[in-house]
Structure 1
Amino acid sequence: MRFPLYIAKRYLFSKSSNNAINIITIIAAIGVFAGAFSLFIVLSGFSGLREFSLAFSNEFDPDLKVIPKKGKTIAFSKTKEADFDKIEGIANYTKTIEERVILEYQEKTAWAFIKGVDERYQQVTQIDSSVDGTWFTSSEPQVVIGADISRKLNPGIFNYNHLMRLIVPKPGKGQITNPTDAFNQKNVIVSGIYNINSDLNGKYVFSNISFAQSLLNLDENTYSAIEIKMSAEADEEILKENILKFFGDNVEIKTRAQLNEVLYKMLNTENLAVYLIFTLVLIIALFNVVGSIIMVILDKKNNIKTLQSLGATPKQIKNIFFTQGMLMCTIGGGIGLLFSLILIYLQMQFDLVMITPSLPYPVSIEISNILTVILTIGILGLFASFLAASRSKKALKE
């Protein structure tokens, strides 16, 4: 293998008497460099955007969420809580209640979901970091609303002159004779406004769980979901099995990815589409490598015959040009990957590109992206080099 490698390096790094071949070789190397550089830049950009997008939902969504398989509520008594605390892998959990309500403020109305949460909620999620104002207290009826709801109703914060009204239909059956008896109504004070993303900002109104139970006529042992924060060493699948054993077949458990299934699918689809597009660009660039090797074969036809006369086998001659192609792809791709790593690192450290004056373009260096570029360059370079080297057989016959 040393003989083909030695000759391949000589052909790659020494100048040809034909100036056109030198130019084609340089263009081919630049093409591989640009392909590897752009592919890693784009993959790192999408990884950064993925982390940036999911960071907002991660503030709101728990690691695991236990919801009823049928109906809207789960029975979870104090006795059950004591046993639930003993399940290994649960760092913390919170009980929540969700139901659709009508918000009314000075003749303006909006639909939303009230989400009653207990005192542990802020230990399971990080939503309080996105709240302007203060999180509600249990001393009086207070709520935290989304930014979109705030824009629709404009209730302000701690506005005691004008209270917001929450209206929800009363549960039950039978004919209603008096329309005013068909709804539960409670006045509340807005203590804060949260801002997470466009999907959530117009969806939820957060309140104390006892207030929500009172509004919805639910007893203290009835909840809509149990939201769980896993401990660092917990195994997700084992924990899910233990929780299902605890509750039986009455519940189902959703992970954070399942709670944001549409978002995850969208991000993965976009990432795959961009990867395929830039791989196509890389394939086109590698055609230059094929052309460059073929031109070298034609230029070195007399040298090939000399090597054959000295005892080189057709396989060894073919390996010379195959090795030259792989060297070109390896060196060009390696330099392109190195430069792109440096550029991404500089963006992470010094915010070279900004989306807004205060928000840098998010990027991320991931081992998976580095391996993707290496494997893509390696596989496509292998195919291109093999295709070009096959032309040496024809040169031996001429």
Structure 2
Amino acid sequence: MSRRRKIIVLCAAALLAYPGVTYVQALTYPGNAPWGVRTVDWLRDMGGGQVVNAVENWWYTRHQPPNTAPPPDSLPGTAPAGQQAVPGTHPGAVGVTGIPLPGEGVWVPGARLPDGAAADYTTFVRPDPQHAAVVAGVAWLNQSLVRTTLIAGTKEPRGAAGPEGAAVPGSLRRSLLATFNSGFKMRDCACGVYLDGVQGPSLREGAASAVVHVNGRVTVDQWGRDAALGPDVVAVRQNLDLVVDNGKPVTGLWQNPAGQWGSASNQFQYTWRSGLGVDRAGNLIYVAGDKLTLTTLAQALVQAGVVRGMELDIHAQMVSFNSYRPDLPGIPPQHLLPSMQGSPDRYLAADQRDFFAVTLAAAGQSARSR
């Protein structure tokens, strides 16, 4: 074989070996992430983002939900009679259209403080009039009683957190009330993050932003209009643009004209979606459900009382809200909706993605990012 041919063969072998090596690295990278998620992330990192987007659009836009009542086992549990109201601040009324199902729009109290006040409530709504089977779970967190922390994963937002730092730290576990997913990978949302005193990727003007303040409260803002960096801010997680503003869905969600809400046609996908917002009293509201389009996610946020809201992550393996009962240590954690995938203990082990942890303020835990 000529020297030229040997060089060509060696170069071809190197080119073929590179994808295999990087794929193995992706499959073995520290932090919890299912095989499918690792594979899709690897494809995107290898320049296959447009192909992944096209396949997702093809699949999720062709699997519309039925216009029938949801199966009873897909609905969260309801509160015993007389237990819906407890002392303390209560969530506002939930918007329900049509004839409600049992428990629909009825708030169920969660963890209690010694005086009996509930720190969190949950319920569900059906935000899609054309598809009655679609259910969105809602969690309401009383920000006078809780503190929220943004925790970095082993890979996102910057790949800076070691395995020990990518889970709920031991100091927070006795008072842990809830954990929930963050947003898109940083490269996919054209946005930034501020965490542990470091900004990077850079925060984007106009982006929807979950802002964690030094007192542990979270505001959901349009960056540069409603919020800016200052001594009161300990963490910022951006994701796309606001989907709810002034208590209404933002104009243009259905068209997504400039890709403000993800890749082209992403808004049409019937898939798991999650969102975060604040109500008029400043309390935190998380919403998630399967077979939601971007528009019906925004509608669910509005029904839940959100005045400013943002989309978080999407797809089944990414959407996760898990509630704990620090007041009743023997009660196992639960998903917001029974059909959520993965373990309710997901964020007690190191995870590749950043996430939020919510604790009872009464325990005196620090709200600073970790």
- What's the TM-score once normalised by structure 2's chain length? 0.24
- What's the TM-score once normalised by structure 1's chain length? 0.22
Say which structure, 1 or 2, has more relative contact order (CA 8 Å, 6+ apart). 1
Q: Which has the higher helix share?
A: 1
Say which one has the larger Rg: 1
